[in-house]
Structure 1
Amino acid sequence: MKAAVIDAYKQPMPVLKQVEIPTMRSNDVLVQIVAASINPIDIKTKDGGLRMLLKYEMPMIMGSDFSGVVTAVGDSVTSYQVGDAIYGRVQKNRIGTFAEFIAVDQADVALKPTNMTFEEAASIPLVGLTSYQAIHDIMKVRPGDKVMIQGGSGGIGVLAIQIAKNLGAYVATTTSADNFALVQSLGADEVIDFRTTDFSEVLSGYDFILDTRGGKTLEDAFKIVRPGGKVVNIAGLPNARFGREYGVPLWKRMAFGFATRNLTKLEKKTDVTYTFLFMKPSGAELEILRQLIERDVIHAVIDRVIPFDQIDSALTYSRSGKATGKIILKMTNQYNQEAAV
Structure 2
Amino acid sequence: MKALLLKGKGLWKDMKVEEMETPSPQKGELLVEVHAVGLNPVDYKTATNGMAVWSYPHILGLDVAGVIVEKGEGVTGWKTGDRVVYHGDFTKKGGYAEFAIINAHTVSRIPEAVSFEDAAALPTAGYTAYQAIHRKLPLEQINTILIHGGAGGVGGFGVQLAKLAGKTVISTASVHNHEYVKSLGADHVIDYREEDVNARVMEITNGRGVDAVVDAVSRQSSTDSLDALAYMGHMVYIAGAPDFTKVEPFTKVVSYHEIALAAAHQSNDVYAQKDFAAMGDQMLSLLEQRKIDAMLKEVVNLEEVPEALSRLSERHVKGKIVAKVK
> What is the TM-score of this pair, normalised by structure 2?
0.88
Distance in 2 (CA, whole Å) between partners of 1:199 and 1:213 is 14
Aligned to 2:232: 228
Partner of 1:272: 254
2:8 maps to 8
From 280, 284, 306, give the equivalent of 1:286: 280
The worse-fitting range, judged by mean Cα deviation, of 165-174 and 270-279 is: 270-279
Partner of 2:121: 123
Does 2:164 align with 1:166? yes
- Matching of residues 193-208 of structure 1 within 5 Å: 193-204=191-202, 205-208=209-212
Q: Given that residues 142 and 168 in structure 1 are in contact (C-alpha distance below 8 angstroms), is that contact kept between their aligned partners in structure 2?
A: no
* Partner AA of 2:232 in structure 1: G
Deviations 1:293-331 (A, max 9, x none): 222211111221111122222112211222110111111
Comparing 7-16 with 319-328, greater Cα deviation is found at 7-16
1:190 aligns with 2:191: no
Name 1:216's counterpart in structure 2: 220
Amino acid at match of 1:263: F
Residue deviations 1:12-44, cap 9 Å, x none?
422323211123122111111111111011111
Question: Could you say which residue in structure 2 is the equivalent of 1:295?
Answer: 289
Alpha-carbon offset, residue 265 of structure 1: 4.5
Contact in 1 for aligned 2:142/2:212 (Cα 8 Å): no
Contact 1:9 1:46 (C-alpha < 8 Å) held by counterparts: yes
Contact 1:267 1:273 in 2 (8 A): no
SS in structure 2 opposite 1:10? coil
Change (3 A) 1:267 1:58: farther
Q: Secondary structure at the match of 2:130?
A: helix
Q: Which residue of 1 aligns with 2:314?
A: 320
Match status 1:263 vs 2:244: yes
Q: Identify the residue that residue 57 of structure 1 maps to in structure 2.
A: 54
Q: 1:97 Cα shift?
A: 1.0
Q: Is the 8 A contact 1:3 1:18 kept in 2?
A: yes
- Aligned twin of 1:30: 31
Contact 1:26–1:77 (8 Å) recurs in 2:
yes
Q: Partner residue of 1:108?
A: 106
Query: Deviation of residue 215 (structure 1)?
Result: 3.6
Q: Which residue of 1 aligns with 2:206?
A: none
Identity %: 30
| Residue 95 (structure 1) shift | 4.3
User: Does the CA contact (< 8 Å) of 2:32 and 2:99 recur in 1?
Assistant: yes
Q: Residues 267, 71 of structure 1: CA spacing in aligned structure 2 closer, same or farther, 3 A cutoff?
A: farther
Query: How many Å separate the matches in 2 of 1:33 and 1:96?
Result: 10
Structure 2 residue matching 1:291: 3-state secondary structure: helix
Q: Using the TM superposition, give the Cα deviation of residue 227 of structure 1 relative to its aligned residue in structure 2, in angstroms.
A: 2.4
| 1:121-160 correspondence to structure 2 within 5 Å | 121-142=119-140, 145-160=143-158
Distance in 2 (alpha carbons) for counterparts of 1:216 and 1:139: 21
Corresponding letter in the other structure for 2:238: I
Q: Is the 8 A contact 2:151 2:319 kept in 1?
A: yes
Q: How big is the shift at 1:119?
A: 0.9
Gaps of 5+ in 2: 203-208, 265-272
1:251 is aligned to none
Q: Secondary structure at the match of 1:161?
A: helix
What stretches of structure 1 of length at least 5 have no aligned partner?
A: 238-259, 333-341
Contact 1:303–1:323, Cα closer than 8 Å, also in 2:
no
Aligned length: 305
Counterpart in the other structure of 1:254: none
SS of equivalent to 2:118? helix
What CA RMSD, in Å, does the superposition of the two structures yield over aligned residues?
1.9
Counterpart AA for 1:209: V
User: Per the alignment, in what secondary structure is the counterpart of residue 230 of structure 2?
Assistant: strand
